[in-house]
Structure 1
Amino acid sequence: MKITINNQNFVLHPCGAAFWEEKKILLVSDLHLGKVSHFRKHGMAIPEKAVHENFNRLNNILKLFDVETIIFLGDLFHSKINNEWNLFSDWTKTITQQVVLVEGNHDIISKKNYTDLNIQMYSEFIIDDFLLTHHPIERENFFNFCGHIHPGIKLKGPGKQFLTLSCFFRKPNQMIFPAFGEFTGNFYLIPEENDKVYALAKGEIIEITN
Structure 2
Amino acid sequence: MTHQTVTLAGCELWLLPEKAVYWPEQKALLIADAHFGKAAAYRRLGQPVPRGTTQSNVQVLDHLLRQHDCQRLIFLGDFLHARGSHAPATLAALSEWRARHGALTITLIRGNHDHAAGDPPAHLGFEVVAEPLLLGALALQHEPAPCPGYPVLAGHVHPVYRLVGKGRQSLRLPCYHIGRDVSLLPAFGAFTGGHPVRCGPGERVFVVGDGQVWPVTGGPAATGSPTNAGNAV
In which range does the TM-score fall when normalised by the shorter chain? over 0.9
RMSD (CA atoms): 1.4
CA distance in 1, matches of 2:206, 2:41: 30
- Alpha-carbon displacement from aligned partner over 1:14-68 (angstroms, at most 9, x marks no partner): 110010000100000000000122234424151x333310000000111110000
Q: What residue number does 2:48 align with?
A: 44
Matched, 1:20 2:57: no
Contact 1:24 1:68 in 2 (8 A): yes
Q: What residue number does 1:4 align with?
A: 7
**Letter paired with 2:111:** G
Counterpart of 2:56 in 1: which secondary structure? helix
Q: What residue number does 2:93 align with?
A: 87
Deviates more, 1:31-40 or 1:147-156: 31-40
Matched, 1:56 2:59: yes
Q: What residue number does 2:159 align with?
A: 151
Where do 5+ consecutive residues of structure 1 fail to align? none
2:123 to 104, 116, 121: 116
Q: What residue number does 1:72 align with?
A: 75
User: How many aligned positions are there?
Assistant: 208
Shift of residue 114, structure 1, vs aligned partner: 4.1
Contact 2:54 2:93 in 1 (8 A): no
Q: What residue number does 1:129 align with?
A: 137
CA distance in 2, matches of 1:114, 1:76: 12
Question: Percent of pairs identical after alignment?
Answer: 27
Where do 5+ consecutive residues of structure 2 fail to align? 219-233
CA distance in 2, matches of 1:165, 1:136: 20
CA distance in 2, matches of 1:74, 1:93: 22
Shift of residue 89, structure 1, vs aligned partner: 2.2
CA distance in 1, matches of 2:177, 2:129: 23
TM-score (ref. length: structure 2): 0.85
Q: What residue number does 1:140 align with?
A: 148
Contact 1:126 1:132 in 2 (8 A): yes
**Letter paired with 1:65:** H
TM-score (ref. length: structure 1): 0.93
- Alpha-carbon displacement from aligned partner over 1:81-139 (angstroms, at most 9, x marks no partner): 1131221122111102100000001113444x444322111112101321111011112
Deviates more, 1:174-183 or 1:32-41: 32-41
